[in-house]
Structure 1
Amino acid sequence: MATFISVIIPTHNRPDLLDEAISSVVDQTLSDWEIIVVDDFSNPCVSPEQLQEKFGPKIRVLQHSSSMGGAAAKNTGIKAASGKYIAFLDDDDLYAPTYLEKAVSTLQKHPEINTLFMSVAWFGPNSKWTHESYTDAMNKILADLAGTQVTETLLEFDADRLFKALLKRVPMAFQRPVAAREQVMQIGLYQEDCLLWDCDWALRAALNGQCGLVTEGLYLQRSAGQGYSSQPRRRVDHSLSNLEIKKQLIKRNVRPDLAKLIRLNYIQSAQDLSWEYINQNQGLLAIRTMLTSFRYGIHFLQIKFLAHAIYSWGLSLRSKEQK
């Protein structure tokens, strides 16, 4: 018989945190699960024997022969999963004890929901300011969505409104999905060359059926500055990935009204990236970014940003000449 739910845990060089993550699954109120640990070329590698000795036989370990990244690790787990449902857990995070029970029971009681997102609670030394930022982002997106309150802890969303809202921002709750395996495969695997792979997947999920949100913070997210992609120096990388996501969405066969909206959002994202370049005294890159955005439409703000980028580049050149 297929395991009821497969929990996929990608990991890389975090043995102690991995043990904590696995323990939070073992302690779930729902017991019909399997854990698939995908070791993304840790050094030393994760030992299946040691994990099974600590936590029991319902753990499998799959090994990457080179480091391929978190998206590839999730895909390896998806392909190997035997569960009716699939959930994900980062190796530095935890599940609240009722996480799996709540997710599965919600999907069973509400078959109209294809993808269920799970709200987040933060812990760790940086949790206070992270929680404040997350709460602000969630309040904004929930105001845009005006979701239907199905139960005290469950919201359902109009698919178009969700997609449009996620184009502006993808708060962490919408990066924590649980869905039937068939639904995951219909949405498609994670994009392995995309830094913001969870955001990209959430947008595609919104284009593939009804989505819901459990409003209880049952996914426990660690905030201790340990994230690989959350460092301040990655802001330009994040902006570039955001642009690439929008570019790929434009290439998809979406309705004309959605395609127009994505193009406008691409232009706005290009302006954000241009501003990052200007702040880093990289005026030429800011100019190139804005010139590229004219492929997707022409708006007054583009011209204004382009002029600002040219001016900033000129100042930078003049400063270099004076030195």
Structure 2
Amino acid sequence: MTTPTVSIILPTFNRLKYLRPAVESVFAQTFQDWELIFADDGSDEDTKAYLRSFSGSPHVKLLLLSHTGNPGTVRNAALREAAGDYIAFLDSDDLWAPLKLATQVKALSDSPRRWSYTAFNRIDESGNQADENIRQWIPYEGAIFEKILLMDACIATPTVVAERRLIEEVGGFDDRQVQHEDYELWLRLILRSEVLFINTPLACVRTHREHYSQGGLWALEWKRRLFEKMQSLAVDPNLLPCIRQAQAR
């Protein structure tokens, strides 16, 4: 296989009923110069059997990992195997529109900005439009550190495409950050490159009961650690008041 333009990082842990349509949405892309890297976090045998069914595909790499339950660790394992100029992220329960990669690769190739994200739709367990009260996000782009930090900009993981070298420059995911690890990476990316926004829904983010996030004091502790890290990384002193404002929320 020649070096692909895009390496797709897809972490898995069971969820076979959602994984199948996620993978189908990759193979349905109009842009086909990609490699798909499955990073399996110790799934059950049915899921592993499904993943092994792609072993003959020249476009697919399979990493069978011991279970950690740490999304950053799993994604970093796949990043180390990635060869593409760009990295695209897809979670095992989400979906891409067929034009997603074509749209973002073209937009990035025409722009000095080194990463991008898109609008997205929310879907339920059955793949229908989610019937819930969803905040209306404003489409921010450019140097939006403050907007990301204050969560005024919503950057969903399956909407992101970034230069591989940019992700490598910032060190990939922080595997010590077991919650908000994607949010923390976006903050480090925006300190190095402005972001390009595409105001077209090119991904579907699924809402379902299997989503699990520890809340309460545990989540607050990880946010506290994240903000402390941002204070140490923010070379522009003008960003410090914004970080303190986010901490106070």
Check whether TM > 0.5.
yes
Is the 8 Å Cα contact of residues 55 and 62 (structure 2) preserved in structure 1?
Answer: no
Query: Distance in 2 between the 1:32 and 1:264 partners?
Result: 43
* Residue 233 of structure 2 is aligned to residue 252 of structure 1: yes
Q: Secondary structure at the match of 2:161?
A: strand
Is the 8 Å Cα contact of residues 147 and 153 (structure 2) preserved in structure 1?
Answer: no
* Residue 201 of structure 2 is aligned to residue 217 of structure 1: yes
**Structure 1 segment 88-127 matched on structure 2, within 5 A:** 88-110=89-111, 112-124=112-124, 127=130
Residue 24 (structure 1) aligns with: 25
Query: Distance in 2 between the 1:234 and 1:265 partners?
Result: 18
Residue 46 (structure 1) aligns with: 48
- Greater Rg, structure 1 or structure 2? 1
Residue 37 (structure 1) aligns with: 38
In structure 2, give the amino acid aligned to 1:189: G
**Structure 1 segment 288-299 matched on structure 2, within 5 A:** none
Q: Secondary structure at the match of 2:113?
A: coil
Distance 1:119-1:238 versus aligned 2 partners, 3 A rule:
farther
What CA RMSD, in Å, does the superposition of the two structures yield over aligned residues? 2.0
**Structure 1 segment 101-250 matched on structure 2, within 5 A:** 101-110=102-111, 112-124=112-124, 127-129=130-132, 132-135=133-136, 138-139=137-138, 142=139, 145=140, 156-157=141-142, 159=143, 162-169=144-151, 171-175=153-157, 176-194=159-177, 195-229=179-213, 234-250=215-231
* Unaligned runs of at least 5 residues, structure 2: none
Q: Deviations over 1:98-156 (max 9, x none)?
A: 1111111111122x111101221111158121xx4242xx13xx4xx5xxxxxxxxxx4
Is the 8 Å Cα contact of residues 21 and 91 (structure 1) preserved in structure 2?
Answer: yes
In structure 2, give the amino acid aligned to 1:188: G
Identity of aligned residues (%): 25
Query: Distance in 1 between the 2:3 and 2:121 partners?
Result: 31
| 4+ aligned runs moved over 6 Å, structure 1 | none
Q: Deviations over 1:81-108 (max 9, x none)?
A: 0111110000000111111111111111
Q: Deviations over 1:236-276 (max 9, x none)?
A: 4333222211011112252222123323432x14xxxxxxx
* Unaligned runs of at least 5 residues, structure 1: 146-155, 270-323
Query: Distance in 2 between the 1:58 and 1:182 partners?
Result: 21
In structure 2, give the amino acid aligned to 1:121: N
Is the 8 Å Cα contact of residues 8 and 35 (structure 2) preserved in structure 1?
Answer: yes
Q: Secondary structure at the match of 2:215?
A: helix
Q: What's the CA shift for 1:67?
A: 2.1
In structure 1, give the amino acid aligned to 2:173: Y
Is the 8 Å Cα contact of residues 148 and 154 (structure 2) preserved in structure 1?
Answer: no
Is the 8 Å Cα contact of residues 15 and 46 (structure 1) preserved in structure 2?
Answer: no
Is the 8 Å Cα contact of residues 127 and 224 (structure 1) preserved in structure 2?
Answer: no
Q: Secondary structure at the match of 2:119?
A: strand
In structure 2, give the amino acid aligned to 1:177: V
| More helix, by proportion | 1
Q: TM-score under structure 1 normalisation?
A: 0.69
**Structure 1 segment 36-75 matched on structure 2, within 5 A:** 36-44=37-45, 46-47=48-49, 48-52=51-55, 56-75=57-76
Query: Distance in 1 between the 2:66 and 2:208 partners?
Result: 29
Q: TM-score under structure 2 normalisation?
A: 0.88
Query: Distance in 1 between the 2:103 and 2:228 partners?
Result: 36
Q: Secondary structure at the match of 1:245?
A: helix
Q: What's the CA shift for 1:69?
A: 1.6
Query: Distance in 1 between the 2:64 and 2:147 partners?
Result: 37
